[in-house]
């Protein structure tokens, strides 16, 4: 599904000192499964994820997604793919503070039909947010509940790929585990990429890619 060739990312190109956040490597990712990207802070994990998901453009190299070369198409084509096929979860939930949990999910939906509303409710229920929580604003929900609402929002359009950047970093152990369980089950027939510096949440990953100083230092399967 993803075919990355010789990817490099250099920040601060204007200054004399070049900062290589990614140092030129190849990577192939399948069309389903839970893939962990692990490494210390500053190793380039987010940069790699943003290059894969079109949020950033690599300085060099190519990122091919289902036969489409993401680095050469137009901005609007990139946006279309991003909207239609990708879902995002970040460390912070970024829910809209004045909307309740249900509306926070619906705001990302492709349409606002009754059927979509029903689906959003079912989705949230499956994530453990019942009727009582749906009408609550983020401030009235726990951190774990907010993050689960953010996951429902990321998945409401059935994205082919979910990109999760440190999705459990602000959660306690139990909620971190719940979030990973949800992502794992979604990865049965979709691709889920989870960036983390915490190996303990990747017990169920199908594959772990270790990043160190902008390079892949280790590729593990199972
Ligand atoms: N917008 C930016 N401008 C300049 N340097 C950046 C920028 N974003 C990240 N970096 C640098 O690139 C390196 C990799 O960062 P990042 O991909 O965020 O790592 P990680 O997600 O593994 O913590 C770090 O040294 C970081 O300081
Ligand atoms: Mg990061």
Provide the pLDDT confidence category of residue 127 given band limits of 50, 70 and 90.
confident
**Strand ranges inside 131-206, DSSP E:** 161-165, 191-196
Segment 107-128 mean pLDDT: 90
Residues at Cβ < 5 Å from ligand 2 ion: 46
**Residue identifier of the C-alpha nearest atom 7 of ligand 1:** 11
- Are the C-beta atoms of 213 and 23 separated by less than 8 Å? yes
Mutate to test the pocket of ligand 1, among 9, 36, 40, 42 (most ligand atoms within 8 A of CB): 42
Class of domain 2-221: alpha beta
Q: What is the dihedral sign for C-alpha 38, 39, 42, 44?
A: negative
Provide the pLDDT confidence category of residue 76 given band limits of 50, 70 and 90.
very high
Higher-scoring residue by pLDDT: 169, 96: 96
Determine how many CB atoms are found less than 10 A away from the CB of residue 57: 13
Q: Which has the minimum average pLDDT: 13-17, 108-112, 180-184, 194-198?
A: 13-17
**Residue identifier of the C-alpha nearest atom 2 of ligand 1:** 11
Ligand nearest to the CA of residue 20, numbered in listed order: 1
- Are the C-beta atoms of 104 and 149 separated by less than 8 Å? yes
Question: Residue ranges per domain, the chain?
Answer: 2-221
The pTM (predicted TM-score) of the whole model is: 0.93
pLDDT reported for residue 219:
78
pLDDT above 60: residue 100: yes
**Residue identifier of the C-alpha nearest atom 26 of ligand 1:** 42
pLDDT one-digit tens code per residue, 14-46: 777 788 999 999 999 999 999 999 999 999 999
Report the greatest alpha carbon distance in the chain: 57
pLDDT reported for residue 84:
92
Q: Is the CB of 45 under 6 A from ligand 1?
A: yes
Provide the pLDDT confidence category of residue 13 given band limits of 50, 70 and 90.
low
Tell me the two tokens of residue 191. Answer: 């691709």
Question: Given the structure tokens 């990312």, which residue do they identify?
Answer: 9
């Amino acid at each position: 599904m993803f075919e990355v060739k010789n990817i490099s990312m250099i920040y601060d190109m204007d200054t004399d000192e070049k900062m290589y956040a990614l140092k030129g490597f190849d990577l192939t990712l399948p069309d389903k499964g839970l893939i962990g990207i692990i490494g210390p802070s500053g190793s380039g994990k987010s940069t790699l994820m943003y290059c894969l998901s079109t949020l950033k453009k690599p300085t060099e190299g190519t990122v091919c997604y289902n036969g489409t070369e993401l680095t050469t198409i137009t901005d609007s084509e990139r946006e279309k793919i991003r909207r239609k096929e990708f879902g995002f979860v970040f460390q912070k939930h970024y829910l809209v503070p004045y909307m309740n949990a249900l509306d926070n999910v619906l705001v990302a939906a492709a349409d606002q039909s009754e059927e979509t509303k029903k689906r959003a409710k079912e989705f949230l229920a499956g994530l453990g947010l019942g009727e009582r929580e749906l009408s609550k604003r983020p401030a009235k929900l726990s951190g774990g509940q907010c993050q689960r609402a953010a996951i429902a929002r990321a998945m409401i359009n059935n994205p082919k790929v979910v990109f999760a950047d440190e999705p459990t970093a602000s959660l306690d152990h139990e909620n971190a585990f719940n979030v990973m369980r949800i992502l794992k089950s979604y990865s049965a027939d979709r691709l889920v990429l989870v960036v983390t510096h915490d190996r303990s949440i990747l017990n169920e990953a199908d594959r772990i890619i270790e990043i160190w100083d902008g390079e892949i230092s280790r590729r593990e399967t199972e």
